[in-house]
Amino acid sequence: MAKYIYPAVFTPEGNGYFIDFPDFDACYTQGSDIADGITMAEDVLSLMLTHFEDEQREIPAASSIKSLSLTEDAFATYISCDTTVYRRRMNNTAVKKTLTIPSWLNDSAVAAGLNFSQVLQEALRQKLNIL
């Protein structure tokens, strides 16, 4: 698991862009504009590289943008991804935790209708500076 950078080719298509990664077969996506395209490209690249890692497949070296053949209306840019961050973001498996709190705090939280799991998740995200 690592950080990767690969070139992506953006080709105007309709009201948006078709985005292709020349270093991978069948690794492409689309975006409604450049910003959306970059977001979508990061996602599909992360998905492809996570799959390669899981299958223990050889990960190809990234091409240089200068080596790419582009049509007149297309452009290329580098897209980066971190498969460790991607895996963490995609793994929402629930884990049961047992904890203790004072009885008075439990009573107050129950009376307020708080969802203990949600409160704990929010507190942990805040404490760990995770958005």
Structural element, H or E, at residue 117:
helix 116-128
| 52-76 pLDDT tens trace | 999 999 999 999 999 999 999 999 9
Q: Which domain holds residue 66?
A: 3-90
* Interval 107-118 mean pLDDT: 93
Contacts of 38 (CB under 8 A, 6+ apart): 31, 77, 79
Same domain, 51 and 105: no
pTM beyond cutoff 0.85: no
**Count of domains in the chain?**
2
Residue with tokens 């298509």: 13
Residue ending a domain, choose from 90, 105, 120:
90
Contacts of 109 (CB under 8 A, 6+ apart): 101, 116, 119
The side-by-side arrangement of strands in the sheet containing 16-20 is 28-31, 16-20, 3-13, 75-82
